[in-house]
A and B are shown apart, each in its own frame.
Chain A
Amino acid sequence: MFATGIENSIPKIRGGAIRVDQMDSCGHYRQWRKDFDCVEELGLKFLRYGPPLHTSFLGPDRYDWEFADVTFAELRRRNINPIVDLCHFGVPDWVGDFQNPDFPELFAGYAKAFAKRFPWVQLYTPVNEMFICAQFSAMYGWWNEEGTTDRTFVTALKHLVKANVLAMQAILEVRADAIFIQSESSEYFHAENPKAIKPAEVENSKRFLSLDLNYGHRVDSEMYEYLLDNGMTREEYHFFLGNSLRHHCILGNDYYWTNEHRVAANGLTRASGEIFGYSEITRQYYNRYRLPVMHTETNIAEGPNGDEAVNWLWKEWANVLRVRNDGVPTVGFTWYSLTDQMDWDTALREPNMRVHPVGLYDLNREIRPVGICYRSLIADWGEVLPTQSVCLVVPIVPPAEHDDPASHRKRSEARQLREAELAAPEAG
């Protein structure tokens, strides 16, 4: 699977006074048809894409699908597989923020309503980058609740992951053969000196928390104490252990040059730049979860030479091949996003309307050098990833085949398997 995505972050900033909406600032609401043209021009059949949660989810059991109806109908017509991203760093005003304990159940209702309205959609990222969302919203004080304590962080994290798990359950009620592709940031923390080893170890444990909870993987004893000391109850923890849906999941991980950090003895962190790189860090995540892997986000800004992004794309692709050749089942790669973004140079904290030139296309929908390179890479390597093993092909039903008798049969079989799972939950 080669993919790109339409950037759709919607955090609130400045004490909730400003709603960031990347699909608005990057022109997608006006140029969505042109954007889908660009996806096809690149030779892509997979698109990370989602309706705007804050304007689609109007209240409990109240939805506005007007924009989603037209855009998803067009994706289906073009036989583009959307990997549907339902929550990308923000919630509707009426929900408040990620401290709201009602958010998981409310969000699961929204996910189910979406799945019922678009039953041909099979691939989902229910909640995007749960760890980053909790960290930026509830630890760094940048977005949404703007929390800055371990307690606000743990509260946001448990709500985000519970929302993801409940949404997966809700979607499976509608589409038993749904496949969930997480898109989680992959991180590493390097100790600057011996006294920094302990704080670096703590950070290297925390980085796994979102996926540990999501996949029902037991956290280590230090993280267990951390979670319980900061407001998670034993019952909440056991919810995650008992509701794992990992066998429906692909371990999607994101990697940018900002994902590695240096840790000082006092625990303060700063960017280290790329040291280990995608392949080494992905091996660490794979060794922990043992799930098929997909590189779900990367990019770098074009700079003064014009080929910075071209070189980064090639480096990331070489890393994906390295992981694959080391025996990790690797199913996809994503340059994120289709077009340039806005204000990501300040992590969306400041509404400066500064163009972040990381897209395959610029905001005039003119292809960038990295877009030309990606198009070639897809054409050259498109047949190679699936040949890793014909026995490990992801069972995707393209939109155009949704109504085929064979697809009906597959869904019926998946429903029977799901019913068996629910009848014997401990087997999961």
Chain B
Amino acid sequence: MLSSYSDVFGISHERDAHEEIQAGDLVRTGPNQFPHFSVIAVSGDKAWVRNVSTGADALALVSRCRKIEPALAFAAE
């Protein structure tokens, strides 16, 4: 469980439906367009993700990852 003011405002970041996230997937980590991440590896409830714009690496909760169709990956609108 991450400590966040999302708790104060009752904001849920979890996706509603089950998706299997694997290394190599292109994902976003919330309901919105962007930022996009490529999944480097998955271990338990954590995914090692890389921001495709900045190259920055981070750990994300797998439950927050949503797959992106490759064709939509660079559509801004």
A residues contacting B by CB (< 8 A) are 25, 27, 301-307, 310-311, 313-314, 340, 342, 345, 353-355, 357, 362-364, 366, 368-369, 372-373, 376
Q: Which residues of B contact A373 (CB under 8 A)?
A: 5-6, 9, 11
In contact, B5 and A307 (Cβ under 8 angstroms) = yes
When C-beta atoms are compared, the residue in chain B nearest to A369 turns out to be: B11
Q: In the complex, what residues of A have CB within 8 A of residue B30's CB?
A: 302, 306, 368-369
B61 contacts across to A, CB distance below 8 A: 305
Interface string of B1-28 (1 = CB under 8 A from A): 0101110110101000000000000000
Find out whether the CB atom of B2 lies under 8 angstroms from the CB atom of A310: no
Interfacial residues, chain B to chain A (CB-CB below 8 A): 2, 4-6, 8-9, 11, 13, 29-35, 37, 49, 51, 53-54, 58-61, 64, 76-77
- Asked whether A304 lies within 8 Å of B51 as measured between CB atoms, the reply is yes
Q: Kindly report which residue of chain B lies nearest to residue A317, judged by CB atoms.
A: B5
A311 contacts which of B4, B13, B31 (Cβ < 8 Å)? B4
Q: Can you list 19 A-B pairs with a CB-CB distance of less than 8 A? A: A27-B77, A302-B34, A304-B49, A304-B58, A306-B6, A306-B30, A306-B64, A307-B2, A307-B4, A310-B4, A310-B9, A311-B5, A345-B53, A353-B76, A363-B76, A364-B33, A366-B33, A368-B32, A372-B11
Inside 8 A of B60's CB, which chain A residues have their CB?
Answer: 304-305
Q: Given the complex, which residues of A lie within 8 Å of B53, measured CB to CB?
A: 345, 354-355
Interface centre among A304, A313, A345, A353 (most CB of B within 10 A): A304
Which DSSP category, helix, strand, loop or mixed, fits chain B's interface? loop
Chain A residues lying within 8 Å of B77, measured Cβ to Cβ, are 27, 363-364
- CB–CB A357/B35 < 8 A: yes
What are the nearest 7 A-B pairs in CB distance?
A306-B30, A304-B60, A304-B58, A355-B34, A362-B32, A314-B5, A306-B13
- Would you give the shortest CB distance from A33 to chain B, in whole angstroms? 15
Cβ distance A366 to chain B, nearest Cβ, rounded Å: 6
Which B residue's beta carbon lies closest to that of A312?
B5
Task: Pick from B4, B13, B37, B54: contact of A345, CB below 8 A.
Answer: B54
- Report chain B residues within 8 Å CB of A311: 4-6
The reply to whether B33 and A304 contact each other, CB–CB distance below 8 Å, is no
Q: Are A304 and B37 in contact (CB under 8 A)?
A: yes
Chain B residues whose CB sits within 8 angstroms of the CB of A366 once the complex forms: 31-33
Closest to B58 in A: A304
Chain B residues lying within 8 Å of A304, measured Cβ to Cβ, are 29, 35, 37, 49, 51, 58-60
